[in-house]
Amino acid sequence: MTKDAPRVLLVEDDKPLRATLAATFKAEGYAVVEAGSVTSAKQRLGEYSVDLAILDLGLPDQDGLTLLADMRTRGDLTPIIVLTARDDEASKVRALDLGADDYVTKPFGVAELLARARSALRHGIQVRGAAPVVRTGHLEIDLSRRVVTRAGELVKLSRKEFDLLAELALNIGKPVPHERLLEAVWGSVDADIRYLRVYIGQLREKVEIDPQGPTLISADAGYGYRLNQL
Ligand code: CA
């Protein structure tokens, strides 16, 4: 184990699942810290600095959302991926609103979780380093110069189109709620959500290779949009 291995905190009370996840993350070169309850997760967070947390919501002592809220209230910006049950839409939305970076619905494939983990870690590093240039697939977004290129070619965006793309880019890999996008681009959460759909359509026309089969900008139905890290 190298000193630079990212450390992941696994909070999950299902022991066989936790053991599988621990083995998977270790095999990928992560250092792993485990907890089976909110109380034990808090202890671990006191003992170790972690780079990423995987948080199950159904825990024996308290709701995982309690831990999430507690960490964010303390200003702890560690990327957090929440594990939710398929039928629990409300908890998922709540977790994102409380500051979770991403969610994975059970049952999930470990490859998907690992991909989300890499994306969340990159985002965590970007938050700390405030990278002014965001790259994904064939797209490059220079946030400070307000310049966007697609496969090296300059993309002409209107001011609002750029503002929308920039808000997505600042949260790359994470779903951004409709309200936050409306606020960022139109200055009000009460702006008409139909504007948002129109502008997302325009952006896709300009940045996607195939606007009919978009891979860069995806919709999280009923929640928001995300710029995928490709
Ligand atoms: Ca559980």
Span from the CA of 77 to the centroid of ligand 1 (angstroms): 23
Asked whether 86 and 61 are in contact (CB, 8 A), the reply is no
Span from the CA of 179 to the centroid of ligand 1 (angstroms): 30
Cα separation of 76 and 53, whole Å?
11
Residue 212: CB atoms within 10 A of its CB come to 7
Span from the CA of 55 to the centroid of ligand 1 (angstroms): 9
Span from the CA of 32 to the centroid of ligand 1 (angstroms): 18
Q: What is the CATH code for 7-129?
A: 3.40.50.2300
Residue 177, judged by CB atoms within 10 A of its CB (0-12, 13-18, 19+), counts as middle
For the chain, the structural domain boundaries read 7-129, 133-227
Q: What is the CATH code for 133-227?
A: 1.10.10.10
Span from the CA of 36 to the centroid of ligand 1 (angstroms): 9
Give just the sign of the alpha carbon dihedral 55, 59, 63, 66.
negative
Span from the CA of 185 to the centroid of ligand 1 (angstroms): 38
What is the residue-level pLDDT of the chain in tens, covering all 230 positions? 344 688 999 999 999 999 999 999 999 999 999 999 999 999 999 888 888 999 999 999 999 999 999 988 877 778 999 998 867 888 888 998 898 989 999 989 999 999 999 888 877 765 555 557 889 999 999 877 788 999 989 999 998 999 899 989 988 888 999 988 998 888 787 888 999 999 999 999 999 999 999 999 999 988 999 999 99
